[in-house]
A = this chain, B = another copy of it.
Amino acid sequence: MQICQIAGYKNSGKTTLMNQLILYFSKTGVIVGSLKHHGHGGDPDLGKLKDNQAHMESGAIMSGVQGEMVSQFTLNMEMDLDEMVRVYSNFPIDLLLIEGYKHAEYPKIVLVRNREDLSLVDELPNVIAAGGWDSELLKNLDVPVFDMKKPGEYLPRLAVYIRRCSYG
């Protein structure tokens, strides 16, 4: 399973790029898994799966439900990224795209909103490409760059970088 992260500060376009890449790879026959870090402070609103909720309240640390085509697991424990990744490795996934966890060691694409964000490209481990909406900003970086305004142009190129450089 190859792994690639999408990193960047809030509102840098991570969600947009994640969905573009999932769609692009899925259409070309790559089996994609995705993982998102909820960000700091709290837990995601997991909706209301009545039975699962009851099991968690009764003390289960992991609760699952299986339907015909969709299954879901909820875990009531602290986990680190490596433990999360290990769960994906149980399944026939070709590429795991990870949104967030910017200090993790996996190969990553960094999104840049402004001049201050440029330092991320040097500071974060294993940056394989950088993108943003302001192509002037990206001009002097020493990693491959792409212009978020032109997805039709950058997606095929970025997909090649990801498949070539990603971990796994």
Contact = CB atoms under 8 A, between A and B. Distances in A.
Given A35-B63, A36-B66, A42-B67, 11 more contacts: A22-B58, A32-B61, A36-B55, A44-B70, A46-B47, A47-B47, A51-B99, A64-B87, A71-B75, A71-B77, A72-B74
A75 to B, nearest CB: 5
Main secondary structure of the interface of A (DSSP, over half): mixed
Contact of A74 (B41, B45, B58, B70): B70
Interface stretch (A23-31, A119-127, A139-147): A23-31
Copy number of this protein in the oligomer?
A: 2
A137 interface: no
Give the contact-size bracket for chain A: 35 or more
Interface of A: 15, 18-19, 22-23, 25-27, 31-38, 41-49, 51-52, 54-55, 58-79, 81, 83-84, 86-88, 90-91, 93, 97, 99
